[in-house]
Amino acid sequence: MPRGESPNRVLWVLPLAFCVNACGAGAANELALVRGELARVQRDHSALSKRVEDLESKTDQHVSIATSEPAIATPIAVTEDKPLKVVKLEPKPLAPPPSPSPTSEDDEPRPMLKIGPSGAIEQTMPDENPKLSKKLTSKNPVLEPQAAKDYDAAFALVKAKKPKAALEAFGAFIVRYPDHPYAANALYWRGECYYALGDHSSAVSQFEALGARYPASAKMPDALLRMGLSHKKLGSADKAKAAFAKLRKEFPTSEAAKKIPPEDAS
């Protein structure tokens, strides 16, 4: 102990020196750890930098190879230049519209229907201008609702077995609506009314008028059958056979053909 120092001062200095030595040792350890961690980070950084340099080097090599390869040009066929042919377009003259034929349907007078003195339907030629006559009779009767009503009223008289009244009603219908789809049927039923009244001559005239004016009518098979039967009633066997023969030839599968009398079947 130095001279003049108290024992208490010595006791206080010794622990302090110990603490200083202990703290110095701890700081040295911490410093060593920091230095080791720093060295490890530097090594990782160096390794990462080297890896980046390697990747950049490979990328540069690929780019240099791609740019150094010559592009393969597609061969273009070179053809000899030929002079183009000049085509001059000229408008074609328009053809004049065809002139109507002097014998066309528009210029021909249409036959008119009327009821004759004997009650038969007769065809007459109009006296007035044919074009005006056609214009007056060209109205579409199918669009007239009254036409169907008139036909139904006339046919109701046939069902009521009133042949005389039906004759007049069907006659008026044909004269008023000669182009109606029911006109052929009306003419046929007039023949049936005459047949029911026993006037076979007038019945034949009605069936013949049906064949002349409406040859494509669905009533033609029945009309030929009635015509043949009417001729038989009148004693005209040859005309009856002719009507039956026409029925067998033109409508062999019709129901009317099956009703031909057996003696006239062949």
Pair 190, 207: CB distance under 8 Å: no
pLDDT in tens, 158-216: 999 999 999 999 999 999 999 999 999 999 999 999 999 999 999 999 999 999 999 99
Given the structure tokens 């004997």, which residue do they identify? 118
Output 78 or 223, whichever has higher pLDDT: 223
Output 38 or 7, whichever has higher pLDDT: 38
Percent of the chain exceeding pLDDT 70 equals 58
What is the arithmetic mean of pLDDT over 226-248? 95
pLDDT at 62: 59
pLDDT at 176: 93
pLDDT band at 232 (very low <50, low <70, confident <90, very high): very high
Pair 256, 221: CB distance under 8 Å: yes
Tokens (6 digits) for 215: 């040859």
pLDDT at 30: 78
Q: pTM score > 0.85 for this model?
A: no
pLDDT in tens, 76-95: 554 555 566 665 565 555 55
